[in-house]
Structure 1
Amino acid sequence: MNEQPTPTLAVLLRRSGLVFVPEQSQDTLPESYLRAVDIKLAELGYAVSARLRARLARLPIAELTRLQGWLWNELAEHVGGDQQHQPLFRDFPRDIPRDTFDLWMRKVLSHFLQAEGQPCLFCGNTSTTHVLSPCLHVVCDQCFDGSNYSACPVCEHPVDTPSPFFKPRAPAALPAERVTFKLLDAGTDIDSQARELFVSFCARKQVLSPSDKDDFKTLIHDLGARVLAWLPEEIPVRENVAEIFGALFQRCEPQAVLPVARGYLSTATDVLRLIAVYSGADPALAAQPQFKPVSLHTPSGRFWGRMAEIIRSSAAHSRHDEVSVHLRVHRFKVARLKRPLRRALLALLEGFHPDGLVEDMLRHRSYWVWLGEFLHPHEYADRFPNVARAFAVVRKKAPDGTPAPAFAGYSSRLETAARSHDMEGLKQLLLQRPGEFARRYDHALRLAGDDARARQELVEAFTGCCGEFSTPVLLTLLSHLPKRLQRAGLRMYWPKGGTAKGVSGPDERAVLSPDDVAPSVRAIELELLRRFASKPAFEDFLIDEELKHIPVPFNERTASPSAVALPRGARVQIPEGKTFRLFLHWCRPEQGGVPTDIDLSVGFYTADWTYAGLCSFSQLRFAAPSGAPIAVSSGDLRDAPFPDGASEFVDVDRVLALAQGLRYAVMVVNNYAGLPFSSLERAFAGLMLRDDVQGKHFDPRTVELKFALQGDNGIFLPLAIDLRDSTLHWLDTYSKGELELNTVQSSNEAISKICPEMMEYFASGVRASMYDLALLHAAARGSRVTVRGPVPRVFIRGPGEDAAAFHLRLRKDLGSTPATRLDVRGSEPLFAALYRGDVTLPPGSAAYALFREQVTPTLSASDLLS
């Protein structure tokens, strides 16, 4: 390991569990030193391999100490264990008030009537009240348990804890848990691993998820110009091109980067994305958020103002409450563009086809109108006339004020052909752009209607250019087209943006003909098998059947950054006998952060999605008629000052919930007041599976999911739990909500619509699963396939059996033999697609693992689409 750990080493540690420690020849350290490392890492749920342990044993003591500290810091941040996680009620889940309304009334009366030096309103004792700072509320240590509270019992804001009201408590013990540890292994060649990861990002054929994008940018910024030598000939995703060269322009001299960049920039949008990244903006070119202060009228009288404060309105003492209205604009703050760089960018634009340049700029007209203020194209009109013409069209007038000439581009001609049902013209236009053809194929077949000849020509054109479609698009169509033989229960739309807001509607499309779908699907399958056959072959494939419930990632731009790369729509089986502990942590910025209140709630619903109750700040205990708690909240903290932040928890008893006829528990994160999620210093939430609910509130070893909060919406619906099937449905979707005061009750209409619709959509099979994708790879590249399921079974390719026939047997589950045992140790390298990485694979194996555990993954889900 280097003297100072680099960001690249941190990326490789988080993603693959690799620790790079040089082999040294000095004497072995005493076992007690290594045991101390084991104990420290075990607190986070990690263990070291025998190979890594042997290398650690030969490090100098100072180096081992430093390495242990670095490992703990990086891994603790990864799973959320680097924060204090002190909830409002320190004794949670015990000693939570049973009557939330009674607690609220005591808070109101204390706020209005309890004064310093007077007997307590409730118990009448004297000398038991304390004035808390800075809120100045007077609280009685007989009526409010100071050993249980971590903040003011009245306003629930953080206060100075040295007050005599707060009684000391012994540190909570580590819970008694059954833990599956994640393995850390010794890395070999840092440069090789970094290059392999960088190239895999470049080879992706769909947009990177936020977590992948962060790691990609980290590599570029850390390694700098070194990555120029690693660039592949083709980078399919244009946003990745922008990320690379925009970051390099920030780090390196433009003249060293521009000659290489020219070979990867082929459209005006490429240049626009490059400038966006160079300016620190998102290359997705989605509308950028802005927040405009708006005053809302509220009662200002003393009584109503006080009541407004108690009911958690931020407008307690004024007639107008200033809130931030969320706007979206198509512009970004442009970084300084020096004259040589501006000329170089204009020269790039001038080199594109004149009409293509205009059409491409019109796709992002608002951005180009804004960017023209910084590029000053009119200054170089004689030198770059095509660019000057394009900006005139975009601005709808020339610099002298004369109207710009009319322009009809590809999109306009395509829409005209579609509206007029000119099928021949439409087909010819689609053939010019295969990507557009693939996306519009379903629509084109419907436009052809009863014209069998037109449909046949479309099918022939489609099958003839399958080789030009991207792999993710082909895989999407492979699942989509067979479902179009009948109408779906509903349609889901995924608008472009920074977060996912699934929009639904009835399926009013005409169904497709089997005569059109069958040859199309056949051509897609053969093309995918052909592509995957070009990748390295493996004799053996090991595939987990549980991957049937994990969709192939799509729309990853909107995926929440997560410690586990769980695709939206995934269904995860939860072990029975565990308590679900949901957690939330957030922290406002150090500078300029207004008080921010985010709430963690759980809504409960019956089998038909009838609302049955909730557990939240407004109802701390959701109980059965017997009084037994179905769910318990740790209390509501109404601000999260820097640097400690605030944490909230909710425990859910699955068995008791089922006994009361409940079917679904929905985790809801509401932005009640203050800054949006994206403006916070940090904000994350997740799920722990606990055997022992006592002891430390947050146990990193038991974290099943941990994900970041993002975007500017008021309501986040990360997951729903099917209590009957003990299945977690990962929804990862946002709802706009209100400007403030979002609660489960106010969001109930959105929850009871979005959750069942998304669950129905993903259960329909309209999206390909990781199991489907793994079978395609196995049929194209393998000879023997072991499927792990309730009954493990082995498929062996027959003599002369081609990939398509083998794939059909794998899909139909035909011709297998039971697997008597599963022992892959000591065999040749194999390909493994695993739900849980709970096996030891031979060296040199290629592995995808949703939950890493013992496996060091070499592949991500997106790598299988490359």
Structure 2
Amino acid sequence: MDTLENLVITRRLRVPVGAPADSTSGWGEVAARQLDAALLSVGFTCSAALLERLSRLPGETVVDLGVRILAGVRRLVGDHVRHNAYFIDFPANVPDTLEFWAGLLREALLDPVAAARVQPSTLDLLTLPGYGRYQHAYADLLAAHAELIPLAGDRVTVLELGGSLESEARDLYFSLAGAETPLAAEDLAALRTLAAFCADQPERVPVRENRAVINEVRLAAGQPLLVDTVTDVLRLACGCSGGDVTLATPTRFRSFRRAERRALLRALDAVATPAKLGDVSRHREQWKRLGERLHPHEYPQFPRAAGVFEVARGVREAAGFDSRVEAALSAGRTADAVELLEKAPGALLRRLDHLLRTGGRSAPAVLDAAERAAAGASGRVLLSLREHLQNRLAPAAGRVFTNRYGRAWVASDSRPPLEEEFLSRALAVLDEEIARRLPDPGELIVDPGVLDVALPLSGKAVAPGLGMLPRGSLSRVDGELLRFFVHWRQAGRRTDYDLSALMLDASYDNPTHISWTNYANGFATYSGDLTEAPAPHGASEFIDIRLADATQPIIIPEVNVYAGEQFHEAAEAFFGYMTRDAEQEGRPFEPRTVRMKSDLRGSGRVALPLVFLRGDDGDWRVKWLHLYLKGFPGFNQVEGNRGTASLLVRSIVERDYLRVRYLADLLRAKASPAGHATYIGLEAPEDLPAGSRAYTPATLHELIPA
């Protein structure tokens, strides 16, 4: 139950509270006020409704609940660990880089034991005594810093009153299960937990990875499975074996019980039509391994299921849909390819750009087919194509490719331009179909701060956290001081992460940097390099930037794996940023000033979470990246990847992402003085009329039409 409660609190910022009861202990109100004060210290507060409900509960109940709430929000903001800093007075009294290294070397030479280990011909500065490890206790750091001066600009995140745990868990479950976009790995794990708890099951689960997770529970309960392709069954078998339902990595299948084998083969037999057998070749080896566990020869009543494994072993031929389309395109038979693709509307729209470029005189017929296909494709496909085509209106600096893990690379854009007439017609068709699918919002209320948030067309690379927005989102940075941070704790071997900042001019040139090789410049300061992060406290690094003094308008935070475990291998690794005003002091890490915090878990060795940009108006904004570079096996430094990082960031910054503004304009045209209201914003206000529907970043995926 605690896991479910924590999911609701951290994902929805709602506190599930049972039925109200008058307090008999007499101090429920006191306990509620104490809880609210404790929450304020980490940048959270109870809504009026939540505070009133807690005040009516017994004080002991409020205390127990408060302990769990505080633990959840402290982890959400990154305050569950001790954030020490290498230089105790950071950001003050940080020495010059050369002065610091010279001092370490001098101390080593004056120490007879250390001097004997120092060999000038093979001197490794990172092995000098005293380098890379905290030189003071966390209590000493606290004593060296004054208390943070609270200001009105500090973050205050409101925790809302929720219903019962059962109802809140069900709402979260149905929201995740019914998402039109793929979920992050953490959300898939949450979906698995919720599916095992909730008795009610959603009727529609559009994303196949989500369907596999829900089918695990249905299989265990002996309920009918939600499958309509052979690959759905393979995903389910992988999930039941503790493997990857996205099929990106091979799964070692477990032994299945006889009832499970029968259920899997029955489901497979029902969907293994000749037209769908072509999908088997995509995961041929996985199917072979699964056949060894299911023993299809023992079940002659499922002959079509046995045919799947015959295709996997090469005993039987089955031409795949994609291979037939590719054969037609390779032979220059665009019309034949379009005819095939009309049977799969989503596939046709995904290939529309290619078909228009290769169609020649048949391009108008391609557009006719696309117009017919629009009604049968998913809302996510329509929106993704809309974003793609609007970026074809002007030449791009480069094409960005990103995989499901956030690993990104850039290639030059060698595609010929599309004719403006074709683009205009295609965009009009998409706008009309998307608008048709949107519901009547009634009275539409939109917070201007959410208009530049990108639509969440995929959530795979976005780890849940505090203040997280989809890739391409743009939001304002308030405050005079910007400080970003990284914290990590190694799992089994010495691990060295390096927080760095790449700084560029308006043309993405003239790079400078802040890192362990350059501690400071005229406006930025590094907290010091830590080369290991043992349990229990790990290690933290910070970079402090005085925005008014910044001479370069593009600041790219980086986290480089210099040595040891990758992000997804470490026991813990997260990044975030804070803002505060110049007169505020405080510790290096102050939870109430944290604006964004999220786990690092990509497979690359260089993390690029976001980029800070100064506009022509002088104001600073942050654009979300959620990217990882492959990097080198070890010794990654900001100096070594600045060319790749700058090109990649420029491609993201200059890309025209489809934002909430687009859907808000379509919804506004359909708004009516109905009896309900629709609110879209960064936070839901407390004074919304009863029956209103609110969309915030946590539920923005629900805006994507089916």
What residue number does 2:561 align with?
671
Return the alpha-carbon distance in structure 2 between the equivalents of residues 500 and 168 of structure 1: 37
CA distance in 2, matches of 1:353, 1:30: 61
* Counterpart position of 1:809: none
For residues 502 and 277 of structure 1, the distance between their equivalents in structure 2, rounded to whole angstroms, comes to 30
* Residue number in structure 1 paired with 2:124: none
Choose which of 169, 192, 215 in structure 1 pairs with 2:190.
215
1:202 corresponds in structure 2 to: 177
User: How many Å separate the matches in 2 of 1:556 and 1:562?
Assistant: 12
Within the candidate set 192, 197, 201, 1:230 is matched to 201
Taking structure 1 as reference, are residues 394 and 655 closer, same or farther at Cα in structure 2, changes over 3 Å only?
same
Q: Deviations over 1:118-154 (max 9, x none)?
A: 9xx9xxxxxxxxxxxxxx99xxxxxxxxxxxxx9962
Contact in 2 for aligned 1:597/1:674 (Cα 8 Å): yes
- Equivalent positions of 1:754-833 (< 5 A) are 754-761=648-655, 765=656, 767-783=657-673, 829-833=676-680
Contact 2:623–2:653 (CA under 8 A) maintained in structure 1:
yes
Q: 1:543 aligns with which of 433, 438, 446?
A: 446
Residue aligning to 2:97: 100
2:224 paired residue number: 260
Aligned counterpart in structure 1 of residue 47 of structure 2, from 41, 46, 49 = 49
What residue number does 1:505 align with?
A: 412
Counterpart residue identity of residue 568, structure 1: R
Q: Deviations over 1:18-43 (max 9, x none)?
A: 22333112355376544322221101
Q: 1:551-587 CA distances to partner (integer Å, 9 max, x unpaired)?
A: 2122321223332230101111112x42001010111
1:30–1:174: structure 2 CA closer, same or farther, 3 Å change rule?
A: farther
Letter paired with 1:642: A
Mapping for residues 176-325 of structure 1, pairs under 5 Å: 176-178=149-151, 179-221=154-196, 223=197, 226-227=198-199, 229-232=200-203, 234-247=204-217, 249=219, 254=220, 256-257=221-222, 259-261=223-225, 264-286=226-248, 288=249
CA 1:343 to 1:168, structure 2 compared with 1: closer, same or farther past 3 Å?
A: closer
TM-superposed CA distance for 1:670, in Å, is: 0.2
Taking the TM superposition and a 5 Å limit, the aligned residue runs for 1:439-458 are 439-449=350-360, 451=361, 454-458=362-366
The alignment covers a number of residue pairs equal to 689
For residues 603 and 186 of structure 1, what CA distance do their matches in structure 2 show?
A: 42
Counterpart residue number, 2:4? 8
Match of residue 374 from structure 2:
466
Deviation at 1:429, TM superposition (A): 0.4
- Which of 385, 388, 405 aligns to 1:477? It is 385
CA distance in 1, matches of 2:190, 2:416: 41
- Give the whole-Å Cα distance in 2 for the aligned partners of 1:508 and 1:656: 41
Q: Is 1:642 matched with 2:535?
A: yes
2:322 pairs, out of 404, 411, 420, with 411
Which residue of the partner structure matches residue 589 of structure 2? 698
Task: Decide whether the 8 Å contact of 2:86 with 2:528 is kept in 1.
Answer: yes
Instruction: Give SS of 1:550's match.
Output: coil
| Partner residue in 2 for 1:752 | 646
Structure 1 window deviating more from structure 2 (357-366 vs 711-720): it is: 357-366
Distance, in Å, in 1 between the alignment partners of 2:564 and 2:6 is 33
Contact 1:538 1:783 in 2 (8 A): no
The C-alpha deviation readout for 1:576-618, integer Å capped at 9, x for no partner, is x4200101011122xxx10111111112222222244222112
The worse-fitting range, judged by mean Cα deviation, of 498-507 and 711-720 is: 498-507
- Is the alpha carbon distance of 1:481 and 1:634 closer, same or farther for their aligned partners in structure 2, counting shifts above 3 Å? closer
* Aligned 8 A contact 1:381 1:387 in 2: no
2:131 match: 155
TM-aligned CA deviation for residue 406 of structure 1: 4.1
Q: Displacement of 1:199 after TM fit?
A: 1.8
1:203 deviation in Å? 1.9
Q: Supply the distance in 2 between the matched residues of 1:719 and 1:168 (Cα, whole angstroms).
A: 29
| 1:532 partner letter | L
Q: Distance in 1 between matches of 2:605 and 2:423?
A: 42
Corresponding residue number in structure 2 for 1:683: 573
**Residue 352 of structure 1 is aligned with which of 271, 291, 294?**
271
Which residue in 2 is equivalent to 1:620?
A: 519
Q: 2: CA distance between counterparts of 1:843 and 1:744? A: 52
Partner of 2:489: 587
> Following the alignment from structure 2 to structure 1, what is the Cα–Cα distance between the partners of residues 74 and 27?
25
TM-score normalised over the length of structure 2: 0.91
- Amino acid aligned to 2:536: P
| Structure 1 residue 87: Cα displacement | 1.6
The structural deviation recorded for 1:78 is 0.9
1:51-80 superposed Cα distances (whole Å, 9 cap, x missing partner): 222222232222222121111101101111
Residues 538 and 753 (structure 1), Cα distance of their counterparts in 2 relative to 1, 3 Å cut: closer
SS at match of 1:468: coil
Between the aligned partners of 1:837 and 1:772, the Cα distance in structure 2 is: 20
For structure 1, list consecutive stretches of 5 or more residues without a partner in the other structure: 122-135, 138-150, 289-330, 397-403, 625-629, 785-827, 851-856
Alignment TM-score, normalising by the size of structure 1: 0.75
Shift of 1:110: 4.1
SS in 2 for 1:65: helix
Distance 1:219 1:37, change over 3 A: same
Cα distance between partner residues in 2 of 1:606 and 1:191 = 52
Which of the numbers 24, 48, 69 marks the counterpart of 2:21?
Answer: 24
Whether the 8 Å contact between 1:211 and 1:562 is mirrored in structure 2 is no
**Do the aligned residues in 2 keep the contact of 1:637 with 1:648 (CA within 8 Å)?**
yes
Answer yes or no: is 1:607 the counterpart of 2:506. Answer: yes
Shift of 1:247: 4.9
Query: Does structure 1 retain, via aligned residues, the 8 Å contact 2:28–2:58?
Result: no
Report Cα offsets for 1:349-400 as digits up to 9, x if no partner: 23333434531111222322333343344x438554444443333233xxxx
Query: Looking at CA atoms only, which structure, 1 or 2, has the larger radius of gyration?
Result: 1
1:70 pairs with 68, 71, 89, which one?
Answer: 68
User: 1:405 Cα shift?
Assistant: 4.3
